Amino acid sequence: MTCLRLTAALVGLLGGGPALAEGIEAAAAPTAAQATVTIPAGRVLPLELAVDRLANGLTVVVVPVAVPSLVAVQTWMAVGSRQEVVRGTTGYAHFFEHLMFHGSRELPGDKRAAMLLSLGVDENAWTSSDRTCYHLQAPADALAQLLWIESDRFKNLELDQLGVRREAGAVLGEWRRAQSDPERALDAALYAAAFGQHAYNHPTIGLESDVLAMPDGLPTALGFRQLWYRPEHTTLVIAGDVDPAATLDLARATYETWTMPPVAAPPLPVEPVQAGQRTAGVIWTAGPANSWLAMGWKVPAFAPDTRDGAAMRVLVELLAGDVSPLYRQVVEDEQLAWSMAAPDPRSVDPGLLTMRVELRDRAAGDRVDALIRAAVEQIVRPPDTDAADALRRRVLAVRQQLRHGDVLELGDPASWAATVGWYTSFRGDPLDFERHLAALAAVELADVQRFAATWLVDSGRTLVRLESVAGAGQ
Amino acid sequence: MKPPSRRALLGGSAALLAGCWQRSPGPARLTAAAAPARRVELPTVGPVVWLQVSCRAGSGADPIGAEGLAWLAAHAQRHGGTTTASADAVGDRLQAMGADIDVLVDQDQVSFRARCLREDLPALAALMGDLLLAPALDAAVVERLRASSIDALRTALPADAEALGQQVLDSWLFGGHPSGHPIRGRIGALPGLDAAMIRAHLDRCWLRGSVVLGLAGAPDDAGRAAVAALQERLSALPARLPLDLGPRAVRPVAGRELLVVEQGGSSTTGIHFGHPTRLHRAHPDWPAMALATTALGEHRQAHGRLYQALREKRGLNYGDYAYNEVFRQESGSSRQEPGTGRLQNAFIVWLRPVDPDNAAYALRVAIDQVERFVADGLAPNEFATMQTYLARRVALWGADPGRRLGWAVEAALMEWPDPLELLPRAVPALTREAVNDAVRRHLRPDDLRIVAVAPDAGPLLRAAGVDPASGAGKALLRRTGEESTSPPVGAGSPFEPEELRLASLPLALSAASVIPTEDIFR
C-alpha cells in the first residue's frame, strides 16, 4: 500500500489556517501499487495529476489515488438532453447511452461483456441534461485491457435494427418506471414551464411520443452519434493506482486513432430572458401522493472559477440547507412539510435554482411559499445589524461545510474520477475543481446577497403545484 | 468459550452464533457479555477518517404491537439532540465539520456512520457518543419522526410499486416473524410509540456485548484518544446478555402461491417471487450461492441469465435479478449496502416492471430459468467465468474505506465472516459440482410465493388459469384449469419456437389472491 504523510498543508487549505511549505511524500510500497501521490500546499488534487489534449480534441486526465490496486475509468461526454434540439429526438441522449453497450463488429456487446466479466469490472452509465458518463471500476491490473475495450465502442460502435428494437423496449420499461414517481412529474412540469426554447424544457428520459417511436429510431441514433459523440466532446478520466505518465501514454496510443469527419452541429437555442412569473399544475392520477410545491429561479450558467458560481452554491445551502432557519421552520417547527430540498443548481447553460417541498397538507402550500419569499428577502436585506452579523457567520459556516464536504466525497477511485471528470468537462481543466474550492473560500455575504438580489426575483420564477387525485394514502 | 472474535471463522461461526443467542446463560457467555465493547480498526491514508457504531438489534427487536420502534429510536437518537446540546446545536456542529452522521436501520442491526476530516475526529467522536448514549429524545422530534413513518407507509411505499412488491413478499414470506413487518413499522402500531418506549427499547438493546465501534483512517493522537474515550463509554453499557434475536423457524412455502396487489394508478406490472432459505453469511454454502446468484442475476448487471432471457432477448423490461438475501443498494452505486445482512434470508427474484400484457409470459420465463438452473446447474464455461469474475469483483466492494469498514464492523457485530476476506479466499476454491449441489439444496422453484403489483389483477389471473371473479380480498380464487399466455406483445419480430414453448408452460398455482394497496401494512 502506498503511504502518505499528509501534513497540515491540506488542513491549512480547508481550515483557513496557514499553509505550510512542505508537501507530501509517498513512501515506496511493498505491494504492486506504484501510484505516487504528492499533495502540494494549498491543493486537494495530487501534483502528479496529468492532463493532455489529443490531436483529435479528446482530453485525458490521469489522477493517481492512494487506494491500492484499483482503477476507475470514466468517459465524460459533454452531451446530454440539452442537445436534443431536433423535433422528435427527445430522450435520444439517454437512448444512445443504452445503445453504446451494443459494441462493435469486432467486439459485439456480448463479447465485450464477457471480457469485462473476466476482468471483474463494475460498469454502468448515466445521462443527464448536460452530461453522459460511462464509468467502470476494476482491479488496477485490468487498465490496459479496459482502455482498449472502452475505446473500441467509441471508435467502432455498430448498431442494427434488431438491437435498437430490443433496447427501445428496455428504455420504454425505464420510462414507464419513471412515470410512477410524482417527484419526476413535478420536475418535468417545472422545467417545461420554465423553458420555452432551450432543451432543458423536456426530461432526459424523453417525451412519451418519442420514446414510443424509438424502435424505429436507428437512423436518428446514428445521426445523434455523428453530431455529438465526437472526441472533441469527450473527457477521459483515469483515477487510481496508476502511473500518470505511463497511463497518459497508453491512453494517447489507444484513443488518438478515434477520428470523425467534420460536421456542422445545429446551434443550441438560447432561452430568452423570462419576463414574468410562470405557474403550472400537475394532477397526479397514478396512485396516492402527497401534495408538492416546486419553484425555480432562472440563474446563469455555472463557471467553476467565478465568485458567482461559488455564491450560488452558498446561497442554496444558506436558504434551504438542513440547518437553515427556513428548513427548521417549515419542516421541524411548523411541520408544514415532510421534506424540503434544493438540489445542486449548477448547469452548463443558464438553468434553474430549484426547491421542492413535499407538503404535509395541500393547504400549507401558500404558507410555505410565503416563508420562502421571506427567507430570500432576509438574505438580501437583513432587517438589522444583528441579523446581518448572524448571516455573515452562517456564510462562513456554509463555506466551510461545502469545502469540507467536497473533499469528504473523495473516497474510492470512482469518486475521484467523478469529481475530476465533472469539473474538467466544463473547460477541459481539472484544476477548475481547485479553483472552485478557492472561490468558495473567498465568498462573502455581499456576493451572496448580490446574487440573490439579481436572480431570485419574481420575474424569473416558475411555480408548480402537484395534487394527487387519490390524495395522500388513507 | 472465548469471547466473540472480531472476525468469526467460517464453520465455527454458525455454532458460535447459535451458542450466543440462546436464552440459557452460561459463565462463558456472561464473560463474553462483560468484555469491553468491541472495536474494529482499518488503517488507511489521507485526511479523511470514518467512524461507525453499530448495534446488534434492528427492527427484529420491535416488540409485538410496537412495530417501527427500532427505526424510530435510532432516528430519535440521531436527530433528537443530546442532554447537553439541542438538535439545532448538533446540526450546527456537524455543519461546521462539513460532516453528517447517517443512520441505517435494518432487520438485525442498526448503524450510525460518519466521516470527517482528521482534525474534526475528536469533536465527531464526542458528538457520536452523546447522541447514542445521552440522547435527549426531544418530544417534538419523536412526534415528527413517527408521523413521517406513518406517511411513508401510507403514501410513499404504495406509490413505489417496486419497493411495495419487495416489502409485500418479505412480509408474506416471514409473516408472524420479526422479519415480517416493514422496518418503518405498521400504521396501527406507530401512533402508540413515544419517548418512554424509545428509552426502554434503548435500555433493552444497547448492551456492551451488542455494539461494535469502527474506525478507518490515519487519526492523529487527539483523534485516537477521542475514539478510545468513545470505546470506554460504550464499554460502560450494561453487561447483560444480548437479546435472543437468533433465527426462528419459518413456515415453509408449499406450492406456488400468487398474490396480486392492485395498484389502480399503475400502468405496469412488477413481479417479485421467492421462498425462505436456511442461508446466512456464516453458512458453509454462502460462497457457493453467492456465485450461483451472480450467474442467475447479479443486481443491476447485464450478464445474468434472467436479464439475458427477459431484457436482452426481447427488451421486456429494464432488468431482472436474483438474490440470496434482501438487497439494499447503497446510494450512488449498484453495490449492496454493508450493515444490511440478516440472520433470516430468502431466495428472491425481482422482475422490473413489464407491460401488463407481458406479465404472465415474463413470470413463466423467469420460473423456467430458475427450474433449469436447479436441474442443469452452471455449465463449465459459465462456472469458470463467474468464478473469476466474482473473486475479482469483491475487491470493489471495499473500494471506499467507509464501505470497507462497514463490512468489517458488520462481520464483527454479527459474528460471521467478512465477505471481503471470505469470498476472495473461498470462491477460487469452489468447484462447479459444489455450486450446483448447493443450488439443488437451497432453491425450490416448485415452492414459491409470487407477488405482482399490477393495475388490474384480471389479466395475470386469467393467464394463470384463475377466475378473477371467484373471490375477493384474500380469499382463495377458483382455478379454471385453463392457463393461456401469449408470447410477448410488441416483440417486433416473429416468435421463436422456444418462446412459444415458454408461453405454454403451466404456472400450476396452488393458491391465488388479490389485495388492494389500501389494505397493506395496516
DSSP string, A214-229: GGG-HHHHHHHHHHH-
Burial of A386 (0-12, 13-18, 19+ CB in 10 A): exposed
SS3 assignment, position B217 = strand
What pLDDT sits at residue A31?
32
Residue B515 DSSP code: E
What pLDDT sits at residue B492?
57
For β-strands B256-262 and B511-516, DSSP reports them as parallel
CB contact under 8 A, A412 and B490: no
Highest mean pLDDT among A214-223, B262-271, B326-335: A214-223
Residue A289: which residues within 8 A CB-CB, separation 6 or more?
Answer: A182, A466, A468, A470, A472, B155, B159
Distance CA A63, CA A420 (A): 8
| Candidate from A101, A121, A323 with C-beta closest to B91 | A323
- Has residue A406 got a pLDDT over 90? yes
Nearest Cα of chain B lies from the Cα of A57 at a distance, in angstroms, of 30
CB contact under 8 A, A70 and B315: no
- Within 8 A of A99 by CB-CB distance, chain B residues are none
- Has residue B8 got a pLDDT over 50? no
Give the mutation candidate from B262, B352, B358, B393 for the A interface (greatest A CB count, under 10 A): B393
Nearest Cα of chain A lies from the Cα of B89 at a distance, in angstroms, of 9
Residue B33: count other Cβ atoms within 10 Å of its Cβ: 20
- Residues A125-171 have pLDDT tens digits of 999 999 999 999 999 999 999 999 999 999 999 999 999 998 998 89
Nearest Cα of chain A lies from the Cα of B326 at a distance, in angstroms, of 21
Give the mutation candidate from A394, A412, A416, A469 for the B interface (greatest B CB count, under 10 A): A412
Cβ-Cβ pairs closer than 8 A, A with B, add up to: 209
Mean pLDDT of A374-403: 96
Phi, psi of A470 (to 5 degrees): -80, -10
Q: CB of B264 within 8 A of CB of B458?
A: no
Angle between helices B12-20 and B27-34 (to 10 degrees): 90
- Has residue A8 got a pLDDT over 90? no
- Has residue B481 got a pLDDT over 90? no
What pLDDT sits at residue B32?
62
Mean pLDDT of A81-107: 96
CB contact under 8 A, B154 and A405: no
- Has residue A2 got a pLDDT over 50? no
| Nearest chain A residue to B385, by CA | A118
What pLDDT sits at residue B17?
28
Is the minimum CB–CB distance between A212 and chain B shorter than 8 Å? Answer: no
CB contact under 8 A, B492 and A215: yes
Distance CA A295, CA A278 (A): 10
Hey, what's the cell of B486?
401469449
What pLDDT sits at residue A10?
35
The number of helices, as runs of H, and strands, as runs of E, in chain A is 16, 13
Is the minimum CB–CB distance between A362 and chain B shorter than 8 Å? Answer: no
Radius of gyration of chain A (CA): 24
Hey, what's the cell of A25?
511524500
Nearest Cα of chain B lies from the Cα of A447 at a distance, in angstroms, of 21
Is the minimum CB–CB distance between A335 and chain B shorter than 8 Å? Answer: yes
Give the mutation candidate from B310, B392, B407 for the A interface (greatest A CB count, under 10 A): B392
Distance CA B348, CA A336 (A): 39
| Nearest chain B residue to A474, by CA | B154
CB contact under 8 A, B45 and A6: yes
Angle between helices B432-442 and B380-397 (to 10 degrees): 80
What pLDDT sits at residue A42?
80
The owner of cell 439443488 is B440
Distance CA B442, CA B445 (A): 10
CB contact under 8 A, A182 and B159: yes
What pLDDT sits at residue B265?
74
What pLDDT sits at residue B476?
59
Hey, what's the cell of B412?
464483527
Nearest Cα of chain B lies from the Cα of A440 at a distance, in angstroms, of 13
| Nearest chain A residue to B424, by CA | A120
Distance CA A75, CA A417 (A): 9
- Residues B414-457 have pLDDT tens digits of 999 999 999 999 999 999 999 999 999 999 999 999 999 999 99
Mean pLDDT of A93-113: 94
Q: What percent of chain B has pLDDT over 70?
A: 89
DSSP secondary structure, A104-143, as one string: BSSSBHHHHHHHHHHHT-EEEEEE-SS-EEEEEEEEGGGH
Is the minimum CB–CB distance between A179 and chain B shorter than 8 Å? Answer: yes
- Has residue A197 got a pLDDT over 70? yes
B477-485 CB contacts, 8 Å cutoff, 24+ apart: B477/B512, B477/B513, B477/B514, B479/B509, B479/B512, B483/B507, B485/B360, B485/B361, B485/B364
| Nearest chain A residue to B320, by CA | A170
Q: Which helix (H) or strand (E) holds B288?
A: helix B286-297
Choice among A43-47, A299-303, B217-221 with the minimum mean pLDDT: A43-47
Mean pLDDT of A29-41: 60
Nearest Cα of chain B lies from the Cα of A97 at a distance, in angstroms, of 14
Give the pTM.
0.90
Mean pLDDT of chain B: 87
CB contact under 8 A, B46 and A4: yes
CB contact under 8 A, B160 and A180: yes
DSSP secondary structure, B447-501, as one string: SEEEEEEES-SHHHHHHTTB-GGG--TTSPPPB-S----PSPTT--SPPPHHHHH
- Has residue A21 got a pLDDT over 90? no
* Residue ranges in A273-412 assigned as alpha helix (H): 307-320, 325-327, 365-380, 385-408
- Residues A51-87 have pLDDT tens digits of 999 999 999 999 999 877 999 999 999 999 999 999 9
Cα dihedral B356, B362, B367, B373 in deg (nearest 10): -160
Q: Across-strand partners of B277?
A: B345
| Candidate from A101, A114, A139 with C-beta closest to B395 | A139
CB contact under 8 A, A286 and B267: yes
- Has residue B77 got a pLDDT over 80? yes
What pLDDT sits at residue A245?
93
- Has residue A32 got a pLDDT over 50? no
- Within 8 A of B99 by CB-CB distance, chain A residues are 404, 408
Q: How far is CA A405 from CA A44, A313, A347, A399, B50, in A?
A: 13, 12, 20, 10, 14
Q: How far is CA A22 from CA A15, A403, A437, A468, in A?
A: 17, 22, 21, 60
CB contact under 8 A, B46 and A402: no
Residue B519: count other Cβ atoms within 10 Å of its Cβ: 11
What pLDDT sits at residue B504?
82
